[in-house]
Amino acid sequence: MQQHHLSLLLLLLLLPTTASLGVTYSNNRQQPDRIAAAMQTLKLTSIRLKEPDPAIMRSLLYSNISIFLTVPNHMVTSMANNLSTARAWIYTHVVPYYPRAKITTISVGNAFIDVYPQAANNLLLAISNIQVSLRDLGIRKIAVSTSFSFDTVVTSPFPPSSATFQDPAGVNLMGSLLEFLSDNNFSFLINLYPYNLYRLHPEIPLGLALFQENSFNFHDDVTTRSRYWNLFDMMVDAVASAMAEAGYETIPIVVTETGWPSSDAADEFNANLGYAETYLRGLVNHLSSGTGTPLLKDGVQQVYVYELFDRKGTTTGRDWGILYPNGTAKYHVDFSAVSSRSSITVALVIFWLLVQLVY
């Protein structure tokens, strides 16, 4: 019997882990109850709010939905210069809801250095002040970080092993930030869009960007002897390589935005419903497989699809939503497949523990 238990435990340990899948919500005038209903319909349990909204927070109280909050970019500099500003934000957007609302992460800014490159030195100070404000209140289970755009901070994904981080001119941000994340066991947050990289590099096969594996859709990294069958993994491993080059290869990676536009006002040929569905289905299948990436056996820690709803009442810009504004589905994609597989693994672990108690 002990041999049987040992065999079962080894099987559980060999099961690949899967990244959890969530979705981003931007402030596009949806009713809070519709957001909660959409999450239930999609069977997703993580939401990233690009703008704090008290009504949405109240609608998610006592739910099983994990909440990722974002500090607006325009507040970062004032938070860096004044601890009381950071503390006031926490008292407004965290204290009234936590822990009844499952707030797990705060991103101080989103692609902040894209918008305010001249103020990049303020970013780590603001992050530190948010963390201090949380700890002063005895809150230690909320991670604090910041989200970057892949195109801004990573030199190149070709090949992934050659990638390094790049700071804005005259700024030394990345090294200090990575040290902070490592010391606190926080994750590195990255907005990662194969669509944007594909548009910048016409030589990339479309199938490589859309998770379509065939004999022509691959890219080899001769340094690591790795073969890549999709652009998502190449970009993730470029981030991993850049962190390793900086001496912080164990920091977990969270993809805070990814997706494919289903339409575009500028009539971009590859921004269409069919390609968007292909990308999202490929992403879900890849994450649920638990295969990770060539350089990261366990892959990324979490992925947020951008975004929950299409724009409401506008005719400009791209549509990225996985639902129409009225809440109906755009795609035949089972977004719950990733979390379902993780649930099966957890159930097997619980079963093994119960067997141990019985015998």
Q: Note the pLDDT tens digit of each residue in 237-285.
A: 999 999 999 999 999 999 999 999 998 767 788 999 999 999 999 999 9
Encode pLDDT of 322-354 as tens digits.
Answer: 999 999 999 999 999 886 444 444 434 444 444
Beta-carbon contacts of 296 under 8 Å, excluding residues fewer than 6 positions away, are: 236, 237, 240, 253
With contact defined as beta carbons under 8 Å apart, do 296 and 253 qualify?
Answer: yes
Share of the chain above pLDDT 90, in %: 79
Strand partners, 228: 219
Q: Which of 174, 164, 314, 152 is nearest to 244 (CA)?
A: 164
| Total domains in the fold of the chain | 1
CB atoms within 10 A of CB 299: 24
Q: What is the pLDDT of residues 141-162, one digit of tens each?
A: 999 999 999 999 999 899 999 9
Unique residue bearing structure tokens 């090949």: 159
Q: Cα(152)–Cα(300) distance, rounded to whole angstroms?
A: 20
CATH number (domain holding residue 291): 3.20.20.80
The structure tokens listed for 2 are: 């002990």
DSSP state, 61?
A: T
Query: Could you tell me which residues are beta bridge partners of residue 20?
Result: 302
Convert the pLDDT of each residue in 77-115 to its tens digit. 999 999 999 999 999 999 999 999 999 999 999 999 999
Helices (H), the chain: 2-14, 32-42, 54-59, 76-81, 83-93, 112-115, 122-136, 150-153, 174-184, 194-200, 206-209, 231-245, 273-289, 337-358
Beta bridge partners, 188, equal 253
Angle between helices 273-289 and 231-245 (to 10 degrees): 60
Check residue 213 and give its pLDDT: 84
* Structural contact between residues 197 and 231, judged by C-beta atoms closer than 8 angstroms: yes
Range of the domain at 131: 2-358
d(CA 297, CA 161): 15
Mean pLDDT of 312-326: 84
Residue 173 one-letter amino acid: L
At residue 353, the pLDDT reads 42
What pLDDT does 359 receive?
52
Q: Look at residue 357 in the predicted model and tell me its pLDDT.
A: 54
- Percent of the chain past pLDDT 70, that is, above it, reads 88
